[in-house]
């Protein structure tokens, strides 16, 4: 078996020319592209190589010789080490401007198009916004300490962090206390992660454990629940082993503008930023311009995040989703919110759908799609068959949005409006929204 070569230390002095779509500075040296973490356009920096290939290399800034006017001091003590954030050296205004430029570039370079109108970037809060996450846990013998946090950028180690500025304060301010709690457990070295789910009223932590908890361990966790005002669930294996330690949490978030309360399970997918989500849904509603004659289809509907607000204004809404659990929650949420004009169906939208009841012989004049990062090229091609005249596309990946835009234009749609939304401030994640008309 061959052994990988250890990369020789190499230090550069570089002029940073632009910013990559991952938020890294771009420089050129000796016919190679150098991607530099922590660098901004216009800067001259000293950087150490950390990765090398034939046509490009990656490096980390060790010293800024000439700083950009846009550079600011990071808020977090472990910024640059922790892999949770990549953009704290830019102001929130400059972050969203960069994301807007990335979306523009994706449209122009791949789809060869730009929208007739650009939306103002949508931002809400810069810190303490994140309500869903998986955080690593590790007992470090040499430090005699349990670390709780995100993993370091360049390794699988857990960053040694006392707090997390982007996590909701109910968790972000209590990482040390959580580590001290886990350290008391008899199986402290068998706890690899915590999954976080924060609702508008409760905070749930799903404790993954690779060995059984003792009665004493359960009491320690119960005491921690009271101390930190959290609710522990435990997970000994797959997702079907997730169960409450003591009590079942009732997790909800709301859409006050539409008088809707959404219930969800700790393991369900929800948007991480509740305030931005409310603004995003309102924006999508405005773009769809719904009325009581509209037949609407919501593809990749999840637990009805867009579907139920749309049902308040449309004649009828159909939500389609591949996860059976989310479909059940969507139906329950419709019932609890007294919504009777919304139907939900389970279907794998990446496979043949011609035989499904919601597709066969049906027409919808308006649609919303909110797919995963891989986009929705398979379902986009079917929209003309469904009669869709007005489409709102919510995307978490400019590259696949641009690819799907190219297809939409090919089959007769026009890109009317687009914009970016800061769902994940301090990171390079780009959330965007676009309106297409037939």
pLDDT per residue as tens digits for the range 296-310:
999 999 999 999 999
pLDDT at 7 (0 to 100): 74
Q: Is the pTM of this model over 0.85?
A: yes
pLDDT reading at 153 higher than 90: no
Q: Which H or E run includes 179?
A: helix 175-183
Annotated ligand binding at 436? The verdict is no
> Is 50 an annotated catalytic residue?
no
pLDDT reading at 1 higher than 50: no
Phi-psi region of 177 (alpha: psi -120 to 50; beta: other; left: phi over 0): alpha
List the catalytic residue out of 181, 224, 301, 396. 396
Q: What is the C-alpha to C-alpha distance for residues 89 and 416, in angstroms, rounded to an integer? A: 34
Strand residue runs (E) in 256-400:
260-264, 295-299, 316-321, 342-346, 366-369, 390-395
Contact call for residues 342 and 334 (beta carbons, < 8 A): yes
Q: Give the confidence band of 276 by pLDDT, cuts at 50, 70, 90.
A: very high
pLDDT at 5 (0 to 100): 55
Annotated ligand binding at 110? The verdict is no
Annotated ligand binding at 305? The verdict is yes
Percent of the chain with pLDDT over 70: 99
pLDDT at 239 (0 to 100): 93
Span 40-84, pLDDT tens digits:
999 999 999 988 888 899 999 999 999 999 999 999 999 989 999
Q: What is the DSSP letter of 130?
A: B
pLDDT at 2 (0 to 100): 43
Q: What is the C-alpha to C-alpha distance for residues 11 and 333, in angstroms, rounded to an integer? A: 56
Question: Which CATH number, 3.40.50.150, 3.60.15.10, 1.20.1440.60, 3.40.50.300, labels domain 96-125+273-437?
Answer: 3.40.50.150
Annotated ligand binding at 50? The verdict is no
Provide the mean pLDDT of the chain. 95
Annotated ligand binding at 35? The verdict is no
Span 203-238, pLDDT tens digits:
999 999 999 999 999 999 999 999 999 999 999 999
Span 353-392, pLDDT tens digits:
988 999 998 999 999 999 999 999 989 999 999 999 999 9
Give CA 158 to chain center in angstroms.
Answer: 20
Contact call for residues 251 and 264 (beta carbons, < 8 A): yes
pLDDT reading at 174 higher than 60: yes
Annotated ligand binding at 271? The verdict is yes
What is the three-class DSSP state of 167? strand
pLDDT at 392 (0 to 100): 98
Say which residue the tokens 């609407």 belong to. 296
- The pLDDT of 171-190, averaged and rounded, is 98
Annotated ligand binding at 76? The verdict is yes
Same fold, 1-71 and 132-244: yes
Fold of 1-71: OB fold (Dihydrolipoamide Acetyltransferase, E2P) (2.40.50)
pLDDT at 6 (0 to 100): 65
Span 48-58, pLDDT tens digits:
998 888 889 99
Q: What is the DSSP letter of 48?
A: E
Span 410-421, pLDDT tens digits:
999 999 999 999
132-244: CATH number: 2.40.50.1070
Q: What is the C-alpha to C-alpha distance for residues 319 and 279, in angstroms, rounded to an integer? A: 20
> What are phi and psi for residue 79, nearest 5 degrees?
-60, 135
Beta bridge partners of 435: 392, 417
Domain boundaries, the chain: 1-71, 96-125+273-437, 132-244
pLDDT at 31 (0 to 100): 86
Span 278-328, pLDDT tens digits:
999 999 999 999 999 999 999 999 999 999 999 999 999 999 999 999 999
pLDDT at 124 (0 to 100): 95
Contact call for residues 107 and 405 (beta carbons, < 8 A): yes
């Amino acid at each position: 078996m061959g052994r990988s070569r250890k990369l020789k230390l190499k230090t550069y002095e570089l002029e940073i020319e632009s910013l990559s779509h991952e938020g890294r500075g771009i420089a050129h040296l000796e016919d190679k592209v150098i991607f530099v973490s922590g660098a901004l356009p216009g800067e001259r920096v000293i950087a150490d190589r950390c990765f090398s290939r034939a046509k490009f290399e990656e490096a980390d800034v060790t010293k800024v010789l000439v700083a950009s006017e846009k550079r600011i001091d990071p808020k977090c003590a472990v910024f640059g080490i922790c892999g949770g954030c990549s953009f704290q050296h830019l102001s929130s205004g400059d972050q969203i401007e960069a994301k807007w430029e990335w979306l523009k570039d994706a449209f122009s370079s791949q789809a060869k198009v730009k929208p007739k109108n650009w939306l103002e970037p949508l931002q809400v809060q810069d810190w303490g916004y994140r309500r869903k996450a998986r955080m690593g846990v590790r007992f470090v013998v040499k430090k005699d300490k349990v670390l709780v946090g995100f993993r370091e950028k360049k390794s699988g180690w857990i960053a040694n962090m006392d707090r997390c500025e982007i996590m909701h304060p109910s968790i972000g301010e209590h990482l040390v206390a959580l580590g001290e709690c886990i350290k008391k457990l008899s199986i402290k070295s068998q706890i690899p992660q915590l999954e976080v789910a924060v609702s508008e009223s409760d905070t749930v932590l799903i404790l993954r454990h690779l060995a059984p908890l003792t009665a004493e361990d359960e009491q320690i966790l119960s005491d921690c629940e009271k101390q930190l005002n959290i609710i522990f669930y435990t997970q000994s294996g797959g997702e079907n082993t997730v169960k409450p330690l003591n009590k079942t949490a009732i997790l909800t978030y709301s859409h006050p503008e539409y008088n809707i309360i959404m219930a969800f399970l700790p393991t369900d997918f929800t948007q991480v930023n509740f305030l931005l989500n409310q603004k995003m849904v309102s924006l999508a509603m405005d773009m769809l311009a719904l009325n009581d004659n509209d037949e609407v289809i919501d593809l990749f509907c999840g637990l009805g995040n867009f579907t139920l607000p749309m049902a308040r204004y449309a004649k009828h809404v159909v939500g389609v989703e591949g996860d059976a659990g989310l479909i059940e929650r969507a139906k329950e949420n419709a019932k609890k919110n007294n919504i009777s004009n919304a139907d939900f169906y389970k279907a794998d939208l990446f496979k043949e759908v011609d035989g499904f009841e919601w597709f066969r012989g049906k027409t919808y004049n308006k649609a919303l799609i909110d797919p995963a990062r891989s986009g929705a090229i398979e379902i986009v091609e079917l929209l003309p068959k469904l009669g869709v005249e007005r489409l709102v596309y919510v995307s978490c990946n400019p590259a696949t949005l641009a690819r799907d835009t190219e297809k939409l234009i090919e089959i007769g749609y026009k890109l009317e409006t687009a914009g970016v939304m800061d769902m994940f401030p301090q990171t390079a994640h780009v959330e965007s929204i676009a309106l297409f008309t037939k």
